[in-house]
Structure 1
Amino acid sequence: MDSTTTVTTRRHRRKEKLLVIMGATGTGKSRLSIDLATRFPSMEIINSDKMQVYKGLDITTNKIPLHERLGVPHHLLGNVDPAHSELTPSEFRSVAGAIVSDITSRRKLPVLVGGSNSFIHALVVDRFDPNSDVFYDRSVSVSSELRYNCCFLWVDVSMMVLSEYLSSRVDDMLDSGMLEELAEFYNPDKASEDSAKRTGLRKAIGVPEFDRYFKSYRPGCEEEGTESEKDSLRTEAYEEAVRGIKENTRQLAKRQMGKILRLRRGGWDLRRVDATEAFRAVVTSSGRWSEIWAKQVVEPSVKIVKRFWDE
């Protein structure tokens, strides 16, 4: 077979199908993926959140708990050694690409889920250049030539509503044991493991914000001063860390929204699903969250996916 025939064959080869669920942090991507997978049992989920790929800090990185996965297969969710240097988009493209091929070879539908748009871009574009950054270098064009037959679901929530929800979500994470999880991460008795742990997870929101707190209040160590002084200073340091987490989470959401719009302007066919009303119901405690979510997010998503799957 000559080179011309090879190129022609590649062009006409049927592309593997890939469903991509994207959106800013906290917009319900993981929940939607499970909602869809329970309706389409052929689905397997591939995580594309760059912090959730690492093992450890499950609450801090907001990994979907095992019992909430309802038996749906998940890939690249908490199984990368945190001692690994930061996973690059090129490495993600290679590893996730192999998983996509494996899933499709078994006649299943791979579903890419996560907010790390640099990972999504690296995986799905036909020709990926690791030396170019389409999100920060405006002289680089976004390519609409994709290596997969993609269906993009963009779960969108207005920033005003999302900001309020993200703030309450941080409080919920702390109530669920985030501080205790981070205290274990910073435990001086495990100092020999610390450098390895921090390699892959050091950028997870919550780790740098609590760094100053745990330097002053090391787990297992007694601080000097009267009880009232210690309580006051510790509370102040804790509240400062929490404020930092909330603000940095909001800023992350804004950056992610900007990247999604960049991809859309570049020609990516993103099917926007508006989840604003569902999240407004959450922050106002109206009690209708599940009902609104099912009608305004799940139902239209099911229709889109069914058409894609039946093509």
Structure 2
Amino acid sequence: MEPLVVIFGSTGTGKSDLAVELATQFNGEVINADAMQMYEGLPVITNQMSPEEQRGVPHHLIGNIGLREHPWTVLEFRREASRIISEIRGRGRLPIVVGGSAYYIDGLLFDDRLVKDELPAEIDPVPREELLTKFPILFEPADVMLKKLHEVDPAMANKWHPKDTRKIRNSLQIYLTTGRRASDIYAEQQSRKASRATGESPNTRTPWNVLLFWLYARRDPLNERLDARVDKMLSRGLLDEISGVYDDYRTRLASGESVDRARGIVQSIGFWQFEPYLRAIKDETPEDGPALAKLRAAGVEDTKTATRRYAKYQVRWLTMKTLASLRDEKLLDRLFLLDATDVGVWHDEVARKGVELTRAFVAGEQLSQPVDVSETAREVLTSTVERSSHQETPCNKTCDLCDKTFVTEKEWQKHLKSNRHQKSARYAKRPALVSYDARRTAVVSTKPELPAQSNVTLDDPRAAKEAT
């Protein structure tokens, strides 16, 4: 069992800084597990460490793919990262994996990667051109693919939201390329996990002896830090990099190339947020000064909002997926939460404690209990481990009022209590409004009929009153 240190957590908590600190202390090398940092020539937009910040520590899988390439699949990352880990160990050094793309880390650590999130490890990636030729339905709209998936694998089709194109496509691709239903592969994986948990089969999860650090920060202080980081990135040339990506994007579209907006570098935070501003300054008839300033300010604010939202998403993934897998594999005693909330005490709470735990780990000493690291660790680990153990009840319910479909009972109940649904329900209960012409016709029709020989008309108010 060879030692492997893994560092994960939300953006802005100092994961890379801790990795470099541990590498300098324990003769280590760093392996990047952040999908966006794999793109070459974009150090600002992907928030890469500068050579000075790397402090001479070898870093792998940074800037290793081209601008127009898609991010690696989990399988591609796993294969290359495993190879690099073996090479680092061959040099007698400590491999340290660090990054915010938790699906990469999960794919590296756990053999039975659930097919509901990505293609399973046993499914070899197929080039896009080959898929397009052999299975053009995989490039149809989500509703077309979902209809086919209902025919070949209804159990898997019922798991997905009708608009979740990526997951629908993955499940259908598994069936089309292997002839096996994704739901069957998923069931086999669950069975193997259950067998390992009961001791009926050996644990073949990983050849490494792992030490895991979760860098955690409370939301409000972290959000302030993330806002300040966006401002710093702007001063370092963020807009210049985004402008270059935007130019390449428009060139590809102009040449007739189909660009997947849900994959690749265009997913990076900042690109779509600044698109209206970039479009304005690059048009032949650009906006005036005040209008451009307004678009730029909106791009800054939208980028900060997207960054904060992404940090929240990362924590949710770790809580509901990574921790659940660690619990199933009985590895929670190797997960240490380090409190990165206060930058002023980051060295003591994160670096110093991380170094001490790593020293005991590589020396083969008994590690302390994760909940004893700090009060924050005790509070967060206790609550999140409990929360991750709750299995969400699947369902497939559609709200006709809001035109939304939900695939878990928890999401459905949350929607029913939401302000949007409550407002729609109240509006639906209102009596139908009658048009002015229809109302006028109805009122006039209630007037009594006048005698046939009468010369009185309803145009005369006094005569009308007498007639009534």
TM-score by length of 1: 0.80
Q: Are 1:153 and 2:213 matched, yes or no?
A: yes
Q: Are 1:37 and 2:90 matched, yes or no?
A: no
Q: CA deviation at 1:189?
A: 11
Q: Are 1:94 and 2:79 matched, yes or no?
A: yes
Runs of 5+ unmatched residues, structure 2: 119-158, 161-186, 198-202, 365-468
How many residues matched?
A: 276
1:67 corresponding residue in structure 2: 52
Q: CA deviation at 1:250?
A: 0.7
Q: Are 1:223 and 2:207 matched, yes or no?
A: no
Q: For 2:260 and 2:233, how far apart are their aligned partners in 1?
A: 21
2:420 corresponding residue in structure 1: none
Q: Are 1:133 and 2:117 matched, yes or no?
A: yes
2:235 corresponding residue in structure 1: 175
1:3 corresponding residue in structure 2: none
Runs of 5+ unmatched residues, structure 1: 1-14, 279-288
Q: For 2:311 and 2:356, how far apart are their aligned partners in 1?
A: 27
Q: CA deviation at 1:308?
A: 1.2
2:309 corresponding residue in structure 1: 251
Q: Which amino acid in structure 2 is aligned with residue 128 of structure 1?
A: R
Partner SS for 2:360: helix
2:346 corresponding residue in structure 1: 293
Whether the 8 Å contact between 1:54 and 1:77 is mirrored in structure 2 is yes
Q: Which amino acid in structure 1 is aligned with residue 8 of structure 2?
A: M
Whether the 8 Å contact between 2:23 and 2:94 is mirrored in structure 1 is no
Q: For 1:197 and 1:56, how far apart are their aligned partners in 2?
A: 21
Q: For 1:297 and 1:189, how far apart are their aligned partners in 2?
A: 40
Q: CA deviation at 1:197?
A: 12
Whether the 8 Å contact between 2:245 and 2:266 is mirrored in structure 1 is no
Return the match for 1:210 from 274, 277, 287.
274
Whether the 8 Å contact between 1:83 and 1:197 is mirrored in structure 2 is no
Change beyond 3 A, Cα 1:193–1:71: farther
Q: For 2:275 and 2:260, how far apart are their aligned partners in 1?
A: 14
Q: Which amino acid in structure 2 is aligned with residue 261 of structure 1?
A: T
Partner SS for 1:186: helix
Q: For 1:209 and 1:189, how far apart are their aligned partners in 2?
A: 15
Q: CA deviation at 1:171?
A: 0.7
Q: For 1:120 and 1:183, how far apart are their aligned partners in 2?
A: 31
Return the match for 1:306 from 335, 359, 364.
359
2:300 corresponding residue in structure 1: 242
2:340 corresponding residue in structure 1: 275
Relative contact order (alpha carbons < 8 A, sep ≥ 6): 1 or 2 greater? 1
Change beyond 3 A, Cα 1:189–1:19: closer
Q: Deviations over 1:171-195 (max 9, x none)?
A: 1100111112222333479936997
Return the match for 1:264 from 299, 323, 326.
323
Q: For 1:106 and 1:188, how far apart are their aligned partners in 2?
A: 40
Q: For 2:214 and 2:363, how far apart are their aligned partners in 1?
A: 20
Q: CA deviation at 1:101?
A: 1.2
Q: CA deviation at 1:38?
A: 1.8
Q: CA deviation at 1:133?
A: 2.2
Moved over 4 A (4+): 192-199
Q: For 2:305 and 2:277, how far apart are their aligned partners in 1?
A: 17
Return the match for 1:78 from 45, 48, 63.
63
Q: CA deviation at 1:82?
A: 2.4
Q: For 2:15 and 2:353, how far apart are their aligned partners in 1?
A: 14
Q: Deviations over 1:80-105 (max 9, x none)?
A: 22222231111111111111111112
Q: CA deviation at 1:305?
A: 0.5
Q: For 2:306 and 2:267, how far apart are their aligned partners in 1?
A: 11
Q: Write out aligned runs for 1:21-36 (5 A).
A: 21-36=7-22
Whether the 8 Å contact between 1:53 and 1:80 is mirrored in structure 2 is yes
1:17 corresponding residue in structure 2: 3
CA root-mean-square deviation = 2.9
Q: CA deviation at 1:307?
A: 1.2
2:33 corresponding residue in structure 1: 48
Partner SS for 1:85: coil
Q: Which amino acid in structure 2 is aligned with residue 169 of structure 1?
A: R
Percentage identity across paired residues of the two chains: 33
Q: Which amino acid in structure 1 is aligned with residue 89 of structure 2?
A: T
1:118 corresponding residue in structure 2: 103
